[in-house]
Amino acid sequence: MADTMQNYVELQGINKHFGSFQASDNISFTIEKGKLVALLGPSGSGKTTILRMIAGLETPDSGNIVIDGQVVNEIPASRRGIGFVFQNYALFRYMTVYDNIAMGLKVKKIPKAQIKERVDSLLELVSLKGMENRYPNQLSGGQRQRVAFARALAPNPQLLLLDEPFAAIDAKVRQELRSWLKEMIGKLGITSIFVTHDQDEAIEVADEIILTNQGHIEQIGTPEEIYRNPQTAFTASFFGQNAELPDYHDFRSFAELDHVDRVLIRPEFVKVYKQDEKIQYERTASEGIVESVSFRGDRTELRIRVNDAVLAAKRNPGEPAIRAGEAVKVFLYRIFVTRGNEVIPLENLALQTDMVVF
Ligand SMILES: Nc1ncnc2c1ncn2[C@@H]1O[C@H](COP(=O)(O)OP(=O)(O)O)[C@@H](O)[C@H]1O
Ligand SMILES: [Mg+2]
C-alpha cells in the first residue's frame, strides 16, 4: 500500500531563526497528494512560518522543501504553483469580485476570453454567480472568504495553503464554511494545508493533523489517532476539554505511579450517576457535589466537585435530570497522567478486570 501513495509535499529538517529566536526547530513531515492537512498549534508555535516557507515567502536557514519530487528552496514563490489564502482575506477593496478572482490570471497575460471562462466557472464553484460586480464591502465574511478561495484557485495551483481561513468569521458561518471547504477540497482533490489554532476545527476538517508547539512538531496523525492516543504531555493537554485533578487518589481505582506531574481528565471519561441510579462499578465511584448545570440543547454540561477536584461532565437529554447542589456518584473511565514530556493513559482497573477491585 505505502509505495502506491504519492508524497506531494515533504519538509526535511527545516530550521528557521528570526534573530536568536528559533521559529522552526527541525521540522520534517510528508503530505500525500490530495490530502487536506491541518497545521495546528497555539499562537506563536510557528505555523505561519512553516506555511510561508512552503510558499516561498520565507527562506529556511537549513533543510529542504520538496514539492512534487523537486527541491524548491531556490524556486521563487511565483513559480511554485501554489495558491495562498491569507488570514485576513486580503481582497483588493477597490476591485469587484470578478476582478479579484481574475487578478492572478491577468498578471499572467492570459487572453480575456479565457479569463472570463475561468472566472465564471470559479464563481459557479464557490456559489457566487451574480455577485461578480460587487465590491468586497458588499459581501458577508463568508462570501469574502469564498472569493479569496476562488482567487487562490484561479491559476489552477497543485497545492493550496490557507492561513487561519476561518478566524475572522463569526461562529455560525465558520461552521458552514468548514464543511464547505472540506467538501470543496475533496471534490477538487487538491493537496491542501491549512493553519489553525482551533483543535475542533482541525479535528473536523483535516485528514491529518500536524501538531506544533514552540517551533517543533509534537505529533502527526489522523484526528482520531492524535485525539485518542496522545504521545506527549503537550498533546494530551492540548486536545480535549481537560480538567486537571489535583490528586487522582481521590478516585478509585487507578494504578499507582510513583511520580506524577499532572493528571488530566476529559469530560467523555467522566460518568455521573444520581444517588438512586444503578451503577455497575458502585464501589469504585466517588462522592461528588454538582456545582453547576448548564443546558446546551443537545446535552447538559455539569461541573462537579470531588474533594479538591472540579470535573466537567456531560449528560444526555434522555437521562434523568441532575440539579445544582445535588450529591452524585462519579466514576472515571480513564485519565491521562503526565510525567515530564511523557503521557501515560490509565484505565480504571475496575474496567480492565471487569470486576470490582476494592
Ligand atoms: N518576520 C519575523 N520576524 C521576527 N519574528 C518573527 C517573524 N515571523 C514570525 N516571528 C516569530 O516567530 C514565532 C512564530 O510565529 P508564527 O509562525 O507566526 O506562529 P503562529 O502562526 O503559530 O502563530 C512568533 O514568536 C513570531 O513572533
Ligand atoms: Mg499564524
Tell me which DSSP letter residue 62 carries. E
Report mean pLDDT in 10-residue bins for the chain, 358 residues.
72 98 98 97 97 97 97 95 83 95 90 96 94 95 91 94 88 87 92 96 96 98 97 96 88 86 94 88 88 93 94 91 95 94 93 58
| Helix (H) and strand (E) counts in the chain | 9, 19
Selection from 148, 123, 118, 145 nearest residue 133 by Cα: 123
Mutation choice for ligand 1 from 11, 39, 48, 238, CB with most ligand atoms inside 8 A: 48
**According to the model, what pLDDT value does residue 272 have?**
94
Please state whether 68 falls in left (phi above 0), alpha (psi between -120 and 50) or beta: left
pTM for this one?
A: 0.91
Cell of 324: 445544582
Q: How many CA atoms lie within 13 A of 50 on its CB side?
A: 36
Distance of alpha carbon 262 from alpha carbon 338, whole angstroms:
5
Cβ within 8 Å of residue 301, ≥6 positions away: 267, 293, 294, 312, 313, 314, 315
φ, ψ at 106 (rounded to 5°)? -65, -40
Say which ligand is closest to the CA of 211: 1
**According to the model, what pLDDT value does residue 148 have?**
93
Distance of alpha carbon 252 from alpha carbon 32, whole angstroms:
44
**According to the model, what pLDDT value does residue 357 have?**
44
**According to the model, what pLDDT value does residue 77 have?**
93
φ, ψ at 328 (rounded to 5°)? -130, 170
Distance of alpha carbon 310 from alpha carbon 246, whole angstroms:
9
The closest-lying atom of ligand 1 relative to the alpha carbon of residue 58 is 1
Cell of 340: 515530564
**According to the model, what pLDDT value does residue 1 have?**
43
Residue whose cell numbers read 470578478: 98
Distance of alpha carbon 77 from alpha carbon 352, whole angstroms:
55
The closest-lying atom of ligand 1 relative to the alpha carbon of residue 163 is 21
Cell of 296: 446546551
Cβ within 8 Å of residue 269, ≥6 positions away: 332, 333, 334, 335
Mutation choice for ligand 1 from 18, 24, 199, CB with most ligand atoms inside 8 A: 18
**According to the model, what pLDDT value does residue 2 have?**
46
The closest-lying atom of ligand 1 relative to the alpha carbon of residue 46 is 17
Mutation choice for ligand 1 from 14, 21, 164, CB with most ligand atoms inside 8 A: 21
Distance of alpha carbon 83 from alpha carbon 55, whole angstroms:
8
Task: Give the chain's end-to-end CA distance (angstroms, integer).
Answer: 48
Domains of the chain from N-terminus onward: 2-231 (3.40.50.300), 243-352 (2.40.50.140)
